[in-house]
Amino acid sequence: MVVNKIFKTSLLTLFAVVFSWFLLMPSIRADNLAEQTTVILHHGKLNSSGNTDGINTNFIVYDITKQYQEVGQTETAQEQFFEKIAGMNATQITSYVSKNALNRIAEIQTDASGRTPAFIVNSNVKAALIVQNGTSQNTAGEQITSQPLVLSFPVVDDNGIVQSSVDVYTKSTLVPPNKPEEPTPNQPGHPGVPNKPEEPTPNLPSHPGVPNKPEKPANPGNPTPGGHLPTTGAFKRNSIWIGLVLIVSGLVASKVIKRKGEFSDEKEE
């Protein structure tokens, strides 16, 4: 009975060890990476002949192992790290490389078939950053750009087998052409639209077609001092006083003449 119990316990222990080894086997094989990994980069749109159209484009490969390991081993954290890097523009990725003092692994260039020569990534590199350096054009002469790309190592297939050589494809997009700005009319600095000088405002007559006549003083022989003409009310008042003076003078003169006539008659008698 004791022997059977020991045998069963040993069998269960062996089964547990074998099962654990089976589960950990992909990780063990991945950690036992060969001395180096050979990488070929393909850039641009893939055509029917198996080539890509991103020709004569320069790339720089950086060691980003430290930053990759700092995010942790969870798949979610690593995916977020990859997406964060891929979303950076040229200015941001340049700043990131400088800030983190990333070491260069290789400088490569695509050929007429849109792929680079093979470059080597050593086993101590757990993640590599691939960044486009400068502008890029496809075979149609259109400008294209590639997203920053992070590769984690070792590279394994679906069965957990470590791959000693891999082909990597960039995610590239067309760069929209810049539209020239159209000149705004009557704005300085825009050729072809001269600015018109301001014209003096003409002295328009009060009635169209009838020119304005210069004003004349009321009494040309004796112009009013200061150039001011008498108002209508003042003129009427002056006329009334003059009329009254003339009437009074006429009555006085008539009275005097009448008295003289009477005096002459008395004298003749």
Question: CB 5: neighbour CB atoms within 10 A?
Answer: 9
Is 115 a member of any domain?
yes
What are the tens digits of pLDDT across the range 155-169? 999 999 999 999 999
**In terms of pLDDT, which residue wins out, 59 or 198?**
59
Asked if omega into 223 is within 30° of 0 (cis), the reply is: no
Domain residues for the domain of 162 are 37-174
Is 196 a member of any domain?
no
**In terms of pLDDT, which residue wins out, 180 or 53?**
53
> What residues pair up with 167 in beta bridges, in sequence order?
40
Is 125 a member of any domain?
yes
Inter-residue contact 163 to 156 (CB < 8 Å): yes
Domain count, the chain: 1
What's the one-letter identity of residue 190? Answer: H
3-17, 54-68, 80-94: the lowest-pLDDT one: 3-17
pLDDT of residue 227: 46
Is 6 a member of any domain?
no
| Mean residue pLDDT across the chain | 76
- Highest mean pLDDT: which of 9-13, 29-33, 149-153, 225-229? 149-153
Looking up residue 41, the CATH number of its domain turns out to be: 2.60.40.1120
Is 96 a member of any domain?
yes
For the chain, how big is the Rg over CA atoms in Å?
55
pLDDT-derived band of residue 4, with 50, 70 and 90 as boundaries? low
What are the tens digits of pLDDT across the range 32-65? 445 799 999 999 999 999 999 999 999 999 999 9
39-48, 85-94, 120-129, 172-181: the lowest-pLDDT one: 172-181
Strand runs (DSSP E) across 8-83, as ranges?
36-42, 54-55, 58-63
Inter-residue contact 146 to 91 (CB < 8 Å): no
Does residue 77 have a pLDDT over 70?
Answer: yes
Helix (H) / strand (E) containing 195 = none
